[in-house]
C-alpha cells in the first residue's frame, strides 16, 4: 500500500479592497499615512514581503480589481478568461448564496440594487444603497410595486435582502454590467453600456423612476427626511457558477469600502488605522510563525499581491533584525505602493 499523499494547505490570503483611490479626496488624504507612527504593521509588511503578482487594469473597467481577485480565487477565471470577463462575473449568484437563496441554474441572473439616483444640476449621482436605511418591509413592498413592469416582459424576480433583489431574463446572457462599487458616487448614465441587450434595462430604469416618483412609500420617506428609492442598478449577471463560496483561506477585509465610497477621508484614515492594528497585526503574526501567506492590496485600477520571499538573503535577515531591535522605520513611504493602485 502506498502512504497517503500529504496535502499542502493553501496559503492564508488577505484581500484589502479600496486600499487607495484615484479620487481627488483620497489623493489628498494619502500623505497622512506617511506620518511617523502611522500603520506600523503595513510598513513592516511592505518592507518584508515581495510583489508576487500584479493584476493590471484601469479605472474604466466594469469589474473592480478586488472582484477579479476574488473571482479567480473561486475558480471563475482562468488566465485566458481574465481579459474577456470584464463586467461578466456572476456576482448575483454569489450574493444570493450569502442571502440563503438558491437560484435556478438554468437561468441567467442579475443583481438588482434598489437605490437613489440623486438629480443634480448637471448630472446624476448614484448613492450607496447601504446608506438609505431601507427596511426589509419597505424593500419587499417596493419590489411588489415594480414587479409587474418586469414580469410583463418575461422577467423572474426574487427578493433577497433590503438592498438586493434578483432578476432573471434571457437578455442577461452575456450582458456586461458595471459593478455597483464602480458606480456609487458617480453618474450612472456614464456606466450604462451601449450593449444591445442593455436597451431593455434602460427602459425599465426609466419606467421604475416614473412609477416610484410619487409612490406613497417614497412620499413617507421624503417626509421623514430620508432619500427616496427612485431606480435600480443592475450588475453581476451570469448563470450560477459551480462554486459560490470563497475558499476558507481567503479573508476579504471590507472596512475601507464605505468611507472611501462616501469620500469620507477622516473615517477612511481611521479605518486604515483599525485595519493595521487588527488585520495586519494578524498577518505579521502569521509571518513571524513562518506561515505561507498572501496579502493583496486593491485600488481603482490594479491589485498587487505580496508574499514572503522564498529565502531571504543573510544580509536581508540581518537588516530586518537590526530594524526590529532598533525600532528604525523603513525608509520607503508607506504610500509608495498604494499610489500605484
Phi-psi category of 37—alpha, beta or left, where left has phi over 0 and alpha has psi -120 to 50? left
pLDDT along the chain (341 residues), means of 10: 57 97 96 92 94 93 96 80 82 97 96 92 88 96 97 97 98 96 93 89 94 93 94 95 93 97 97 98 96 96 92 52 49 84 93
- The b-or-e profile of 189-215 (16+ CB within 10 A means b, else e) is eebbeeeebbebbeebbeebeeebeeb
Count of CB atoms situated within 10 Å of the CB of 33: 19
Q: Which residue segment(s) compose the domain that 58 sits in?
A: 12-74+246-338
CB 116 within 8 A of CB 210: no
Say yes or no: 109 and 38 in one domain.
Answer: no
Both 68 and 102 in one domain: the answer is no
Of 238, 265, 290, which closes a domain? 238
What's the confidence (pLDDT) of residue 37?
87
Is 183 within a domain?
A: yes
Specify whether 98 is located in the same domain as 217: yes
Q: Are residues 215 and 307 in the same domain?
A: no
Residue 315 lies in a domain: yes
The whole-number pLDDT of residue 10 equals 86
Which of 187, 212, 238 is at the close of a domain?
A: 238
* Residue 301 near residue 57, CB atoms below 8 Å: yes
Phi-psi region of 18 (alpha: psi -120 to 50; beta: other; left: phi over 0): left
Same-domain check for residues 145 and 287: no
Task: Count how many domains the chain has.
Answer: 2
Vertex 241 angle, CA 238 and 246, to 5°: 115
CA distance 45 to 41: 6
* 2 within some domain: no
Residue 162 counted as domain residue: yes
pLDDT of residue 322: 47
pLDDT of 81:
62
Please tell me whether residue 241 adopts helix, strand or coil conformation. Answer: coil
Same domain for 59 and 146: no
Residue 69 burial (C-beta neighbours within 10 Å; 0-12, 13-18, 19+): buried
Question: Reduced to 3 states, what is the DSSP secondary structure of residue 109?
Answer: strand
Q: Is residue 254 part of a domain?
A: yes
pLDDT at 50: 94
- Residue 186 and residue 250 in one domain: no
- DSSP structural state of residue 112: E
Residues 169, 98 within the same domain: yes
Residue 319, classified by CB atoms within 10 Å of its CB into exposed (0-12), middle (13-18) or buried (19+), is middle
Q: How far is CA 67 from CA 57, 60, 74, 75, 167, in A?
A: 12, 14, 11, 12, 21
Given a contact cutoff of 8 angstroms between Cβ atoms, the answer to whether 67 and 178 are in contact is: no
Has residue 3 been placed in a domain?
no
Structural domain contains residue 233: yes
What's the CA gap between 204 and 217, in Å, rounded?
A: 20
| 327, part of any domain | yes
Same domain, 70 and 105: no
Quick one: 91 and 231 in the same domain? yes
Nearest-CA neighbor of 114 among 84, 90, 94, 136? Answer: 136
Same domain, 234 and 262: no
Torsion angle of the four alpha carbons 38, 42, 48, 50, in this order, in degrees rounded to the nearest 10: -130
Are 13 and 250 in contact, with CB atoms under 8 Å apart?
yes
The distance of Cα 186 from the centroid of its chain, to the nearest Å, equals 16
Q: Is there a single domain that holds both residue 165 and residue 207? A: yes
* Domain stops at, among 190, 218, 238: 238
Alpha helices (H) in 230-278, listed in sequence order: 257-261, 265-277
Q: How far apart are CA 76 and CA 337, in angstroms?
A: 27
Instruction: Say what the pLDDT of residue 334 is.
Output: 87
DSSP tally for the chain: helices H, then strands E: 13, 11
Amino acid at each position: 500500500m502506498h502512504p497517503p499523499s500529504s496535502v499542502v494547505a493553501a496559503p492564508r490570503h488577505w484581500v484589502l479592497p479600496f486600499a487607495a483611490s484615484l479620487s481627488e479626496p483620497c489623493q489628498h488624504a494619502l500623505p497622512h499615512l506617511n506620518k511617523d507612527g502611522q500603520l506600523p504593521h503595513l510598513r513592516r509588511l511592505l518592507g518584508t514581503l515581495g510583489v508576487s503578482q500584479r493584476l493590471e487594469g484601469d479605472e474604466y473597467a466594469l469589474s473592480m480589481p478586488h472582484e477579479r481577485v476574488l473571482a479567480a480565487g473561486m475558480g471563475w477565471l482562468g488566465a485566458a478568461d481574465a481579459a474577456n470577463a470584464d463586467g461578466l462575473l456572476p456576482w448575483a449568484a454569489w450574493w444570493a448564496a450569502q442571502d440563503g437563496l438558491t437560484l435556478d441554474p438554468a437561468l441567467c441572473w442579475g443583481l438588482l440594487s434598489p437605490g437613489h439616483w440623486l438629480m443634480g444640476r448637471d448630472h446624476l449621482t448614484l448613492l450607496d444603497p447601504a446608506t438609505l436605511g431601507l427596511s426589509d418591509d419597505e424593500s419587499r413592498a417596493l419590489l411588489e410595486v415594480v414587479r409587474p413592469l418586469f414580469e410583463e416582459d418575461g422577467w423572474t424576480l426574487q427578493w433577497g435582502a433590503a438592498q438586493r433583489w434578483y432578476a432573471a431574463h434571457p437578455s442577461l446572457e452575456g450582458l456586461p454590467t458595471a459593478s455597483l462599487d464602480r458606480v456609487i458616487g458617480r453618474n450612472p448614465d456614464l456606466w450604462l453600456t451601449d450593449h444591445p441587450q442593455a436597451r431593455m434595462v434602460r427602459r425599465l430604469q426609466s419606467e421604475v423612476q416614473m412609477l416610484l416618483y410619487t409612490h406613497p412609500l417614497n412620499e413617507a420617506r421624503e417626509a421623514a427626511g430620508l432619500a427616496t428609492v427612485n431606480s435600480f442598478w443592475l450588475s453581476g449577471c451570469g448563470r450560477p457558477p459551480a462554486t459560490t463560496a470563497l475558499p476558507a483561506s481567503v479573508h476579504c477585509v471590507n472596512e475601507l469600502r464605505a468611507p472611501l465610497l462616501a469620500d469620507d477621508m477622516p473615517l477612511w484614515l481611521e479605518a486604515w488605522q483599525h485595519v493595521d492594528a487588527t488585520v495586519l497585526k494578524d498577518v505579521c503574526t502569521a509571518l513571524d510563525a513562518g506561515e505561507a501567506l498572501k496579502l493583496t492590496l486593491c485600488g481603482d485600477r490594479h491589485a498587487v499581491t505580496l508574499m514572503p520571499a522564498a529565502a531571504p538573503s543573510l544580509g536581508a535577515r540581518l537588516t530586518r533584525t537590526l530594524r526590529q531591535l532598533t525600532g528604525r522605520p523603513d525608509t520607503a513611504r508607506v504610500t509608495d505602493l498604494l499610489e500605484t493602485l
